[in-house]
Amino acid sequence: MTELSETPRGRRRNRRAHARDQAPEPITDPEKAREIALGILTRASRSTAQLRDGLVAKHVVPDLADAIVERYVEVGLVDDAGLAATIVRTRHAERGQSRRAIRVELARKGFDEDAIGSALDQIDDDDERERAAALARRRWDQLAAHPVDVRERRVVAMLGRKGYSSSLAFALVKHLRDADSEDD
């Protein structure tokens, strides 16, 4: 009986396992590193931290990764403030997320506090309340076939997942419930 490693299929498995066990060579060639960086930026816009982390994950030496990121910031290929502002606008307008939820996402993506703060200045308390009210109304109407307590729970939960405070969520639900009572 032949061992697994002696069959062609077994040899392929062993070669792949061996390749995984060996640490890849660190990339020190600036051209290769720039090619990797452009590949990362081609798929999606990235923050400086995300680009640096992506380069290091692809085995580019950290000093070279820092130099490439710095150069791309200089020439405008990477713009943290602009990208943060775009993320804020889209997350709030299209997904209905609160400033708090957007702040967490931006911090997770590696944006600095200055970029986050200036980007979030686009949304004020009235904008946030208005967006939350529109989301709550739409969800409330979608749940019209359900009992009131189920509707309340689900609307509050949806607003909570989007980052809105529980006090705002409960106030909006109370307003919706009262409006329905007046209509009856």
| pLDDT reading at 158 higher than 90 | yes
pLDDT above 90 (res 183): no
- Predicted confidence at residue 2, as pLDDT, reads 47
CA distances from 18 to 5, 22, 24, 59 (A): 12, 6, 12, 18
Per-residue pLDDT band for 24 (boundaries 50, 70, 90) equals confident
Q: pLDDT tens digits for 45-104?
A: 999 999 999 999 999 999 999 999 999 999 999 999 999 999 999 999 999 999 999 999
In CATH, the number for domain 125-183 is: 1.10.10
d(CA 43, CA 41): 5
Q: What is the pLDDT of residue 182?
A: 81
Measured between alpha carbons, how far is residue 40 from residues 57, 150, 166 in Å?
A: 11, 45, 38
Cα separation, 177 vs 156, whole angstroms: 12
* Count of all residues that appear for the chain in the document: 184
Q: Check pLDDT > 70 for residue 16.
A: no
* pLDDT at res. 11: 60
Q: Does domain 80-120 match CATH 3.40.1710?
A: no
Long-range contacts of 100-107, Cβ-Cβ distance < 8 Å, separation of 24 or more? 100/163, 100/164, 100/165, 101/162, 101/163, 102/163, 104/163
**What is the distance between the alpha carbons of residues 129 and 141, in angstroms, rounded to a whole number?**
18
Q: Is the pTM of this model over 0.75?
A: yes
**Domain(s) of CATH 1.10.10: residues in the chain:** 80-120, 125-183
Distance from chain centroid for Cα 67? 25
